[in-house]
Structure formats: C-alpha cells, structure tokens
Copies of this chain bind each other. A is one copy, B any other.
Amino acid sequence: MYSAFETEVRIRPDDIDLNNHVHNTKYLDYVLAARYDQMINNYKMSMDEFWKLGYNWVVSITYIEYKRALTLEDRILVRTQVDSVNGAQCRVNFWILKKENRKAAAEGYLIYTMISTTSGRPVRVPDEVIERYSV
C-alpha cells in the first residue's frame, strides 16, 4: 500500500477558457506539477535524479473524469497515490480537490512507463525506486 500525498497548486489566469472555467487540459498540468513537487518533497527523488541514473518516466496513458468546474477563485489540492507498479509501468491515481470542502473537481489515473535514456526502451522499475515510492 502506497501513501497518498497532497500538493496545493495555484490556478493562473492563463488557465481559464472561454467558459470562464479552468480549461480541460490544464487539469493534467496541475497533476504533473503536483507529482513533480512530490517527487522532490515526498519521495526525495527528483526527476533530475532519475535522469542522472539514466531513467525517464514517460506518460503512457491518462484517464480523467471531470466532476466540477473550477474557476480562477478556487483553491485546489492535488492528491496523488501510487496504485501499483508492474514491470516497467506505474499507475498513479489522482484527485483534484476543492480546498474549501475537499469535493473532487476531477479524478483519474496516469500510467507512467520507465524508459532507459540510453536504449530509449522500457525497463523494469528497479527495486530501489519501488522502495523510495513505498514511503
């Protein structure tokens, strides 16, 4: 069982679309921004460190259910949790929560694939990484 982590992400005016709501595609940008922070602050293993070890995480699949519109006034928390690691792949579940009532504005998952930067091919997620993720 993997821990869940939460990161506040600030909505910017350039994220808002012609419906006066956060544009659909920005939700995933918020999740990626939160994961980036959580890799540094929670897993203590930044993307930089991955690159130095010759690994890269690429996004293979994204699934998002949009539940509530977000506006420029909303404060949001991005909650993510590793669901499982299988071979070269890691599934991360996420929820974008309104800060005031913790209601989900969106939820979904990402499937990441670990790539060797030398071969450019998928590689089994090393035990060392799984350990770091098991905080």
* A49 sits at the interface (CB 8 A): no
Question: For A72, what are the chain B residues with a Cβ–Cβ distance below 8 Å?
Answer: 18, 36
Q: Which of A20-43 contact B (CB under 8 A)?
A: 20, 23-26, 28-29, 32-33, 36
* A63 sits at the interface (CB 8 A): yes
With A and B bound together, what is the CA distance between A20 and B17 in angstroms? 8
- Measured CB to CB, the closest approach of chain B to A96, in angstroms, equals 14
**How many of A's residues come within 8 Å of B, CB to CB?**
32
Contact A61 B64 (CB under 8 A): yes
Contact A63 B62 (CB under 8 A): yes
With A and B bound together, what is the CA distance between A71 and B67 in angstroms? 28
**Which stretch from A8-16, A86-94, A127-135 is at the chain B interface?**
A8-16
- Measured CB to CB, the closest approach of chain B to A18, in angstroms, equals 4
Q: Chain B residue with minimal CB distance to A30?
A: B12
* A60 sits at the interface (CB 8 A): yes
Contact B60 A66 (CB under 8 A): yes
Q: Chain A: residues with CB nearer than 8 A to chain B?
A: 9-10, 12-14, 16-20, 23-26, 28-29, 32-33, 36, 48, 56, 58-66, 72-73
